[in-house]
């Protein structure tokens, strides 16, 4: 167990908050390099902190009521902030992740049924198939870097769920282009934090441009080919036939393509990071790994983890929730206010921006007991922590809550349960990676690990 354990309690890596006496320039510099380290005691101790920013105000919220107001009850007064369009726009401008207003409403109604429970049950066996291939690979090469290996796994799962096994699909090429877009063009840079007008294009490296072009061409080709075989039942076919339930209107070709790309971008890195941090925590805290193992053996024996087992794997799910509490893959959401209003008793002007900091909300002593300790049982002792309005929102909240949440949870429970049951996970004892925010929250430098098959 790592040296930061005290009396059996494991305190995993935490982004160092500002002390509060750094001064403006140093504080800004720290924020630009790793935004989640750019907040001081005020942001942890107060529900809302407002600072002047380029002639407007920037409000930092780390409070469930404030989050629910912005994302839920008053969501009609807010859009995503320009920074989102700047980073995601080049890849998914016309997709659910980026659009607003009526276009968003129409798309969400069309796309949400793709992720309904009845489809999840059909997708579970595909996850099992991908897991079997993945395990065969690590049996041959057990030394892995967790983040890269989990990104590979979750990409393969999504490719199978979204696309099935289309003839002639160059999956490696598609994976390479998606990874390049996520880790290159889709990574936060200090210049993104400046108030560029929406019409100013974001410079992207020639390599990033090539990856984007490849990804768009591949998505166009896949959709065109699938249009010729309407009988398939994978998610792309559902996307192509998706209709607004009231008007019957279908998505345009551009919307279909940007959504397909959006699912790959939003769906594989986030789930990969959840699994990376969860495996890291299990590697550092073996009693947790042992409890998962016993639970999976009791529920599934040596067989595959099935769809109907997911709700029975209570501790495995609690470990995943505790992982996303400590390391929310999307650690900060943003919004721009479109009309004057009041949030948490504060006057808000149109044009003000919000940082909705679930990383801070998940770790503040105002809302949690021993917030820095790794304690999955808190989700078993207090199941209400998962209820609407609780201070735990790794998937966001309100009408724009993650549309792929059920899929992500199913995949993560199946993957973590299978891997921990079947493998001993060894992580170097001194591995204590700093959480680094690059839009998502990654372990800086990665996590080297060895997965050794148990039987």
CB 274 within 8 A of CB 324: yes
Q: d(Cα 221, Cα 216) in Å, to the nearest integer?
A: 9
Q: Please report which helix (H) or strand (E) contains residue 96, including its range.
A: none
Smallest gap, in angstroms, from Cβ of residue 318 to ligand HEM? 15
Residue nearer to ligand HEM on the CB measure, 287 or 389: 389
Q: d(Cα 172, Cα 178) in Å, to the nearest integer?
A: 10
Residue number of the CB atom closest to ligand HEM: 404
Residue nearer to ligand HEM on the CB measure, 144 or 150: 150
Residue nearer to ligand HEM on the CB measure, 180 or 440: 440
How far is CA 54 from each of CA 62, 72, 113, 346, rounded to the nearest angstrom?
A: 22, 27, 41, 19
Residue nearer to ligand HEM on the CB measure, 27 or 69: 69
Cβ neighbours of residue 24 closer than 8 Å, sequence gap 6 or more: none
Residue nearer to ligand HEM on the CB measure, 271 or 364: 271
Residue nearer to ligand HEM on the CB measure, 180 or 271: 271
The position carrying tokens 């309407």 is: 230
C-alpha Rg value of the chain to the nearest Å: 22
Residues in the chain: 455
Smallest gap, in angstroms, from Cβ of residue 340 to ligand HEM? 22
Smallest gap, in angstroms, from Cβ of residue 269 to ligand HEM? 9
Smallest gap, in angstroms, from Cβ of residue 97 to ligand HEM? 5
Q: At 110, phi and psi to the nearest 5?
A: -75, -35
Q: d(Cα 155, Cα 265) in Å, to the nearest integer?
A: 9
Q: Please report which helix (H) or strand (E) contains residue 116, including its range.
A: none
* Residues binding ligand HEM (CB under 6 A): 80, 96-97, 108, 262-263, 266-267, 270-271, 274, 329-330, 333, 394-396, 400, 402-404, 407-408
């Amino acid at each position: 167990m790592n040296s930061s354990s005290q009396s059996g309690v494991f305190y995993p890596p935490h982004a160092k908050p500002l002390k509060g006496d750094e001064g403006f320039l140093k504080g800004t510099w720290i924020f630009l390099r790793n935004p989640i380290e750019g907040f001081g005691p005020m942001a942890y101790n107060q529900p809302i902190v407002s600072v002047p920013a380029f002639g407007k105000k920037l409000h930092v919220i780390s409070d469930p009521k404030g989050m629910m107001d912005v994302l839920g009850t008053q969501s009609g007064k807010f859009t995503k902030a320009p920074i989102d369009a700047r980073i995601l726009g080049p890849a998914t401008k016309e997709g659910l992740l980026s659009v607003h207003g009526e276009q968003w409403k129409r798309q969400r109604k069309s796309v949400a049924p793709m992720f309904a429970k009845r489809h999840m049950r059909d997708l579970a066996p595909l996850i099992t198939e991908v897991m079997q291939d993945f395990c065969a690979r690590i049996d041959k090469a057990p030394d892995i870097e967790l983040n890269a290996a989990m990104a590979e796994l979750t990409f393969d799962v999504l490719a199978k769920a979204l696309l099935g096994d289309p003839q002639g699909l160059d999956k490696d090429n598609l994976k390479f282009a998606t990874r390049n877009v996520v880790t290159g063009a889709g990574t936060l840079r200090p210049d993104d934090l400046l108030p560029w007008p929406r019409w100013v294009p974001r410079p992207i490296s020639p390599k990033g441009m090539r990856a984007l072009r490849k990804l768009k061409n591949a998505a166009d080709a896949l959709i065109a080919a699938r249009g010729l075989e309407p009988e398939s039942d994978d998610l792309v076919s559902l996307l192509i036939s998706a209709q607004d339930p009231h008007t019957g209107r279908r998505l345009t070709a551009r919307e279909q393509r940007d959504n397909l790309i959006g699912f790959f971008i939003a769906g594989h890195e986030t789930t990969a990071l959840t699994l990376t941090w969860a495996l890291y925590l299990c590697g550092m805290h073996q009693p947790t790994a042992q409890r998962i193992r016993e639970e999976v053996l009791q529920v599934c024996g040596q067989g595959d983890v099935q769809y109907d087992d997911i709700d029975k794997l209570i501790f495995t799910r609690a470990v995943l929730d505790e992982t996303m509490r400590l390391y929310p893959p999307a650690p900060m959401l943003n919004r721009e206010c479109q009309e004057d209003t009041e949030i948490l008793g504060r006057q808000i002007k149109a044009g003000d921006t919000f940082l909705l900091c679930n990383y801070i909300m998940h770790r503040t002593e105002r809302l949690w007991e021993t917030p820095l300790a790794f304690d999955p049982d808190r989700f078993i002792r207090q199941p209400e922590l998962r209820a609407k309005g609780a201070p735990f929102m790794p998937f966001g909240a309100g009408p724009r809550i993650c549309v792929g949440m059920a899929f992500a949870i199913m995949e993560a429970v199946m993957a973590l349960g299978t891997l921990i049951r079947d493998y001993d996970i060894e992580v170097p004892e001194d591995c204590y990676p700093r959480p680094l925010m690059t839009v998502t929250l990654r372990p800086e430098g990665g996590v080297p690990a060895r997965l050794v098959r148990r039987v």
